[in-house]
Amino acid sequence: MADVKVPFSLRLTPADHAKIKLISQKENRSIANMIETLVKREIERYEKENGEIELTEEEIYPE
């Protein structure tokens, strides 16, 4: 089963956009995939320090 992904807008400064673009090119990823990877890494780091964030189905899939 394919992962369901929630689209949303993200605003970056021109400098941050240029930097993430260069990082993603060096990692051979799209910008969107690089941002997703960085978000996942930060969630993992946060949960390692603070404990797992438990979500209900309603929080994951709000109507």
- Evaluate whether residue 35 is within a structural domain: yes
- Evaluate whether residue 43 is within a structural domain: yes
Q: What is the tens place of the pLDDT at every residue in 9-37?
A: 999 999 999 999 999 999 999 999 999 99
- Evaluate whether residue 2 is within a structural domain: no
- Evaluate whether residue 58 is within a structural domain: no
Task: Check whether 61 has a pLDDT greater than 60.
Answer: yes
- Evaluate whether residue 41 is within a structural domain: yes
Query: For the chain, what is the domain count?
Result: 1
Q: What tokens were used for 48?
A: 């390692």
Q: The domain containing residue 32 runs over which residues?
A: 14-48
- Evaluate whether residue 23 is within a structural domain: yes
- Evaluate whether residue 5 is within a structural domain: no
- Evaluate whether residue 61 is within a structural domain: no
- Please give the model's pTM, rounded to 2 decimal places: 0.84
Q: How many residues does the chain have?
A: 63
In the block, tokens 């260069």 appear at 22
